Chain A
Amino acid sequence: MDAPEEPLPPVIYTMENKPIVTCAGDQNLFTSIYPTLSQQLPREPMEWRRSYGRAPKMIHLESNFVQFKEELLPKEGNKALLTFPFLHIYWTECCDTEVYKATVKDDLTKWQNVLKAHSSVDWLIVVVENDAKKKNKTNILPRTSIVDKIRNDFCNKQSDRCVVLSDPLKDSSRTQESWNAFLTKLRTLLLMSFTKNLGKFEDDMRTLREKRTEPGWSFCEYFMVQEELAFVFEMLQQFEDALVQYDELDALFSQYVVNFGAGDGANWLTFFCQPVKSWNGLILRKPIDMEKRELIQKQEATLLDLRSYLFSRQCTLLLFLQRPWEVAQRALELLHSCVQELKLLEVSVPPGALDCWVFLSCLEVLQRIEGCCDRAQIDSNIAHTVGLWNYATEKLKALGYLCGLVSEKGPNSEDLNRTVDLLAGLGAERPETANTAQSPYKKLKEALSSVEAFEKHYLDLSHATIEMYTSIGRIRSAKFVGKDLAEFYMRKKSPQKAELYLQGALKNYLAEGWALPITHTRKQLAECQKHLGQIENYLQTSSLLASDCHLTDEERKYFCQEILNFASQQTNSPGHKIVLPMHSFAQLKSLHFDPSNAVVHVGGVLSVEITLWSQMPVPVHVEQIAINVHFSIEKNNYRKTAEWLTKHKTSNGIINFPHEPAPFPASQNSLPALELYEMFERSPSDNSLNTTGIICKNVHMLLRRQESSSSVDVPSGVALEDGAHVLKCSSVMLEPGANKVLFRTQAREPGTYTLRQLCASVGPLWFVLPHVYPIVQYDVYSQEPQLHVEPITDSLLAGIPQKVRFTVTTGHYTVKNGDSLQLSNAEAMLILCHAENRAVIYSNTREKSSDASFRIQSSGKVTSISLPAAPAYHLIEFELDVLSLPSAPAVRGDSNQPGLKESRRTCSEKLAASHCMVTTDHKVSIDCPWSIYSTVIALNFSIPFQTTHSLLSAGTRKYIQICVQNLSELDFRLSDSSLIDTGGSADLQLVPLNTQIQQHIHSQQSVFFVWELKWTREPPPALHCRFSVGFSPASEEQLSVSLQPYTYEFQVENFFTLYNVKAEIFPPLGMEYCKTGSLCSLEVSITRLSDLLEVDKDEALTESDEYFTTKLMYEVVDNSSNWAVCGKSSGVLSMPVAAQATHRVHMEVMPLFAGHLPFPDVRLFKYLPHHSAHSSQLDADSWIENDSLSVDKNVDDAVDSSSIKSRGSMHSASSIEHRGLPMPRLQAFPPGQVFNSSSGMQVFVIPSKEDHVLEVSVT
């Protein structure tokens, strides 16, 4: 079109370009002004308001002033913008009308006509005024006239198109002002022109773009047009806008390619589909790649050419905009999209060509960026560039593989041909990089030239990339590049270098649990280790791979076979072991003990069945599977005892091992499991527990620094323990999947055995599970034979047959036929023999094993029980009936002197220890066949009854009452009760008043028996009695044995009544009833009932002329505060010891309450004078004294304080007497001797009329 015809070659170095302004008129004048003008114009910015709502911009204007020529004006249809004159200025200095009319006007008209012909409206006429000239020509018209004339002639309605510039070369304020006005005008007009012309251009451009669907439309043409706009923006330093133009072109092109891919092909695009013949990469060092531009202009550019050119322009603009990192990012996108577009457009590309192009381009971009940034900037923006580095590395690797530079042998002829072709496509190096030593072109050429050079370049790039990735924390990417490098090393047959990278990568994948990469890397590592001859590592990796479910069966079998091959090869060198961790080979799933509680006695057989899950794909013959066992003798270990054994039964004896965690999460996986143990610390002296806790035995493994630990795969951590105790199982075929392996062992030493390690050996290979966790233990115990005898019920009752259980724990002793237990009987205990006795034999785990009968032979003092035969570590259990004879019955007859006291005492005792049965011990000594020592067993029998007696009086008649209390839980039947006088005096008769012969006595209840005591002659002072009653359990009808009756012996003393005390209360004289508050008379009469008796012979007795008297003290006490005793309430009287001797005492008492009041108590004591010679008897006396007081207290629980006081003084008197002062003493009478005939009597008291106060006390 127009382009080739253009008279001026397009000015392309846009940076040096400025908008063109033509100058017509006085050239000399302009030349003089030009320096100032070109300097002043860009000084101040001007706001550029723009169409289409684009944001206004401040812009510094510069112009290229050229002489006006008609050729400069663009012809119709010319799209060139760069050469477009935006403004035309006519300069004149004319101040003379004549001159104006003669020449200037014509010139101006001509100029105007030319402009009009080209429809250019952007013009300006500048009239320069010069004072100097004016002075010279005084006759001239006023200066305005010229300007006015011009305005009049040319500026039709556009008076602002003519400006005056006064004295431009002077330095005056007027000049300055004039300049400013002129410059502003100039700028405004320039911008107006821009807006108008660019707007028009854009409109045209848009119109052109809209035609893109038309058949003849060409992208290249359009490209040139829009680029023109970009150039202008760039010229105006509007890089942002310029970039937008290129981006629009980019997007348009991309869209076409996409549409093409979708089947909507444009004709012009087919041109870009021509085969790629040149792949010399991006050129970014020149602002504009003219060669490429020409190709585009000529519509000869290939896709790569167009893309390269486009990107080079974008790059230039981005660098102007100080956005180098965007260049890097866009470059990567560009390269990717170019590759994609070529694929999409199905452009034929020679193999490797694109790789070359990409490689060169990456390096070019990187070098370009490096060229405009300093080191620090680059270092802090690695994240943006590293992608390019990686891409370049990848491409170089691809080229290396393509050209046979990676193989061990070097390239073959085919490879070389390919290399030559590739190098040919690069063409010659561009002149601008020819002098650069490290230019991408040179690098590529060199890298492809030889194997060594390639290696150098590839390693350089790889290391640089890895380093960069590492430095910005992209570890995974770094490892991935490292893996490529490892692959390269493997190809180069230098596995030692590859290993490091593979290990690194593997560690990373393991740590994050990526199964597939792990498998793949391991496979590579296996090959590497094989080459390196790291047998152990190789075998271990192989075992891991053989168990890897991500591999195919063939691969797994291959690796498994590798292991087996090795194992079979090495059989000739015995003793050499290779220890490998077991988890990849097989996994311990569960363990089962038989017996299930994992406790076995010495000599017993323990079997351990383990379930091993073989991970191998094929059956593997294992020569031996062994469990290392750690033995410890733990003293005082409760676990070992038989009791523990019988009490603790584990559910089923199966211990399940936790499933080996899958390779994720890795953090848990890399740590060994905790090995926790109980810990007890006992004090050495008394074996009591001091401290207890849990200790972790593999702390050293857990607290190790993670970083320092070598690779997870290195089996250095597996140490083979060499224990003395090993459970072994030989020649086992492990099928894939679950296998059961049975170990049997005979328990030897007692102690605790902990399973520590599990090893499986295949030839010299030992697969070791270093720690069996959770902890598995079994115990071996030994036990001494023992005999236990214990009652079946809580307690044994005396007198009736009771069952006793014999338990023989055989322990290590085997009970043979004929072994017997020899019981040396206690006299009072019978062993009742039955016709048949049966014993049950249990195993130690309490399982019943058999039933046997046994015999009992009783001969005199020895009872022999022949035991049934029983094996060791069994229990023999049988029951026997025993009967404790009450032969030595409750030794109760030795009652203390006063019968009453005795009974009361037991009563209080009983209260203290409520319902406590009296017990008797029977010791049985048993000779056991396993021991030379006798076992002594104490059996405790309780007497079910408690008996008390009491003496009752009615005047002189006497009765004996027996109370039998049943303390046991059983009910009894009582029969044949009898009371006999053991003294056997004939004149004494005991008459039973009991009607029933048989009586039931229930648990915790009492039965009373009463006898009347009759005598014909004077009774003896003491009476010895024995009470006996037959008893049998109420529940049993008939008993096989006759039972002994229950007996109770006691003594009754001083039972004969000596005194009768009678009290009477009379109302005051003349009154019918006693009345509260008024005095009544109390008359107490004490009558002696018998003559002198044996019992009277004590200190109080005085004799004078066959006439005996004794001293008595009486006391009237009212415990219930019903009475106020007025006057003397007690007194001593001398009583003649003769029958019917009577003493009467009168007293005044006052009733305090109304109603039926019981009489106040009248008490009688023996009044003993001081006896000088009774010091020897002091103890006994004082005992009696104290006791009497305690009796008082028991009787008078509610004594008022006055009586306590009085008694207290009395007591203190007696205690003083005890200290040596002669004082009389009081002695209470035994209960039988004084009969109170008025006890229980009441007197009726009526309330007093004057009684106003009514006291109510509520207690």
Chain B
Amino acid sequence: MAVCIAVIAKENYPLYIRSVPTEDELKFHYMVHTSLDVVDEKVSALGKALVDQRELYLGLLYPTEDHKVYGYVTNSKVKFVMVVDSSNTALRDNEIRSMFRKLHNSYTDVMCNPFYNPGDRIQSRAFDNMVTSMMIQVC
């Protein structure tokens, strides 16, 4: 389904990033990093809207020839970025949304762990499994 899923801290450093296949890891890192530009742009545009009305899902950040990059930003400005293969046309916006929601829930669980230090890299196995499940599907 997704080929790369990243959680990025408020300060724009990666809290979690994973991609399949692993050979293209670097490419995805660059891609996710570059997508932050658009995230920033969208967030600052959203910033004007009222907080409670704000949509967390940012939609398609930008398409590339082979991939589509979607974004999502939590209220605490933690960003989720998901890269999807362009050829995977079966994936609709709604599904992307629900995937992000799942990701957000799992991330919240990670944050609730008293042993997790906010700002540290996410090493939770539960989170990892959830990400894996989102990556394997369909693919």
Using a CB–CB cutoff of 8 Å, the interface residues on chain A facing chain B are: 258, 261, 332-333, 335-337, 339-340, 343-344, 383, 387, 469, 472-477, 480, 509, 512-517, 520, 664-667
**Cβ contacts under 8 Å, B11 to chain A:** 512-513, 664-667
Q: Which of B13, B26, B87, B119 is in CB contact (< 8 Å) with A512?
A: B13
- B93 at the binding interface (Cβ < 8 Å): no
Cα of A1174 to Cα of B119 in the assembled complex, Å: 102
Contact A514 B13 (CB under 8 A): yes
Contact A665 B9 (CB under 8 A): yes
Task: Please tell me which stretch of B36-44, B49-57, B94-102, B123-131 contacts chain A, meaning at least 4 of its Cβ atoms lie within 8 angstroms of it.
Answer: B36-44
Contact A514 B34 (CB under 8 A): no
**Cβ contacts under 8 Å, B63 to chain A:** 332-333, 336
Q: Which of A339, A509, A665 is in CB contact (< 8 Å) with B33?
A: A509
- B30 at the binding interface (Cβ < 8 Å): yes
29 A-B residue pairs with Cβ-Cβ distance under 8 Å, sorted by A, are A258-B90, A261-B87, A333-B63, A336-B63, A336-B86, A337-B86, A340-B66, A340-B86, A383-B41, A387-B62, A469-B37, A472-B41, A474-B41, A476-B33, A480-B30, A480-B33, A512-B11, A512-B12, A512-B13, A513-B13, A513-B14, A514-B29, A515-B14, A517-B29, A517-B33, A520-B26, A664-B14, A665-B11, A665-B13
Contact A477 B13 (CB under 8 A): no
Contact with A along B54-81 (1 / 0, CB 8 A): 0000000011111000000000000000
**Cβ contacts under 8 Å, A513 to chain B:** 11-14
Contact A474 B37 (CB under 8 A): yes
13 other A-B residue contacts (CB within 8 Å) besides A333-B63, A474-B37, A476-B33: A336-B65, A337-B86, A473-B37, A474-B41, A477-B37, A512-B13, A513-B11, A516-B25, A517-B30, A520-B26, A664-B9, A664-B13, A667-B11
Contact B14 A340 (CB under 8 A): no
Q: Which of A335, A340, A477 is in CB contact (< 8 Å) with B34?
A: A477
Q: Which of B38, B40, B66, B87 is in CB contact (< 8 Å) with A344?
A: B87
**Cβ contacts under 8 Å, A469 to chain B:** 37
Tell me whether chain A's interface is mostly helix, strand or loop, or mixed: helix
Cα of A666 to Cα of B9 in the assembled complex, Å: 12
Contact with A along B12-37 (1 / 0, CB 8 A): 11100000000001100110011011
Cα of A344 to Cα of B66 in the assembled complex, Å: 12
Contact B29 A516 (CB under 8 A): yes
**Cβ contacts under 8 Å, A512 to chain B:** 11-13, 33, 36
Cα of A341 to Cα of B64 in the assembled complex, Å: 14
**Cβ contacts under 8 Å, B34 to chain A:** 476-477, 480
With A336-B63, A516-B26, A517-B29 already in contact, the answer to whether A258 and B37 are too (CB < 8 A) is no
- B113 at the binding interface (Cβ < 8 Å): no
Q: Which of B26, B37, B38, B65 is in CB contact (< 8 Å) with A517?
A: B26
Cα of A1127 to Cα of B8 in the assembled complex, Å: 112
- B89 at the binding interface (Cβ < 8 Å): yes
With A261-B89, A343-B87 already in contact, the answer to whether A336 and B14 are too (CB < 8 A) is no
Nearest A residue to B37, CB-CB: A474
Cα of A509 to Cα of B36 in the assembled complex, Å: 12
**Cβ contacts under 8 Å, A344 to chain B:** 87
Nearest A residue to B28, CB-CB: A516
Using a CB–CB cutoff of 8 Å, the interface residues on chain B facing chain A are: 9, 11-14, 25-26, 29-30, 33-34, 36-38, 40-41, 62-66, 86-87, 89-90, 119
Cα of A344 to Cα of B90 in the assembled complex, Å: 13
Nearest A residue to B119, CB-CB: A665
**Cβ contacts under 8 Å, A666 to chain B:** 11, 13
Cα of A261 to Cα of B30 in the assembled complex, Å: 29
Contact B65 A339 (CB under 8 A): yes
Shortest distance between the CB of B8 and any CB in chain A (Å): 9
**Cβ contacts under 8 Å, B41 to chain A:** 383, 472-474
**Cβ contacts under 8 Å, B12 to chain A:** 512-513
With A514-B13, A516-B25, A665-B119 already in contact, the answer to whether A473 and B40 are too (CB < 8 A) is yes
Cα of A178 to Cα of B93 in the assembled complex, Å: 58
A-B pairs, top 4 by smallest CB distance, nearest first, are: A513-B13, A474-B37, A664-B13, A516-B29
**Cβ contacts under 8 Å, A339 to chain B:** 65
Cα of A665 to Cα of B65 in the assembled complex, Å: 32
Cα of A1158 to Cα of B136 in the assembled complex, Å: 115
Cα of A882 to Cα of B101 in the assembled complex, Å: 88
Contact A476 B36 (CB under 8 A): yes
Cα of A344 to Cα of B89 in the assembled complex, Å: 11
Nearest A residue to B86, CB-CB: A340
Shortest distance between the CB of B76 and any CB in chain A (Å): 15
**Cβ contacts under 8 Å, A387 to chain B:** 62
Cα of A472 to Cα of B12 in the assembled complex, Å: 18
Shortest distance between the CB of A485 and any CB in chain B (Å): 14
Shortest distance between the CB of A509 and any CB in chain B (Å): 7
Cα of A513 to Cα of B121 in the assembled complex, Å: 12
Cα of A520 to Cα of B30 in the assembled complex, Å: 10
Cα of A344 to Cα of B86 in the assembled complex, Å: 11
| Among B9, B12, B62, B90: residue with most chain A CB under 10 A | B12
Nearest B residue to A520, CB-CB: B26
Q: Which of B29, B33, B65 is in CB contact (< 8 Å) with A340?
A: B65
With A339-B65, A387-B62, A513-B13 already in contact, the answer to whether A475 and B33 are too (CB < 8 A) is no
Contact B9 A476 (CB under 8 A): no
Shortest distance between the CB of A583 and any CB in chain B (Å): 19
**Cβ contacts under 8 Å, B36 to chain A:** 476, 512
Contact A514 B40 (CB under 8 A): no
Cα of A340 to Cα of B63 in the assembled complex, Å: 12
Contact A514 B87 (CB under 8 A): no
Cα of A364 to Cα of B28 in the assembled complex, Å: 30
Cα of A333 to Cα of B86 in the assembled complex, Å: 11
Q: Which of A258, A477, A516, A665 is in CB contact (< 8 Å) with B89?
A: A258
**Cβ contacts under 8 Å, A474 to chain B:** 37-38, 41
Shortest distance between the CB of B66 and any CB in chain A (Å): 8
Cα of A332 to Cα of B66 in the assembled complex, Å: 13
Cα of A513 to Cα of B38 in the assembled complex, Å: 18
Cα of A520 to Cα of B26 in the assembled complex, Å: 8
Shortest distance between the CB of A516 and any CB in chain B (Å): 4
Shortest distance between the CB of B29 and any CB in chain A (Å): 4
Cα of A333 to Cα of B62 in the assembled complex, Å: 10
Cα of A667 to Cα of B11 in the assembled complex, Å: 9
**Cβ contacts under 8 Å, A258 to chain B:** 89-90
Cα of A665 to Cα of B87 in the assembled complex, Å: 36
Cα of A772 to Cα of B64 in the assembled complex, Å: 48
**Cβ contacts under 8 Å, A480 to chain B:** 30, 33-34
**Cβ contacts under 8 Å, A335 to chain B:** 65
Cα of A473 to Cα of B37 in the assembled complex, Å: 8
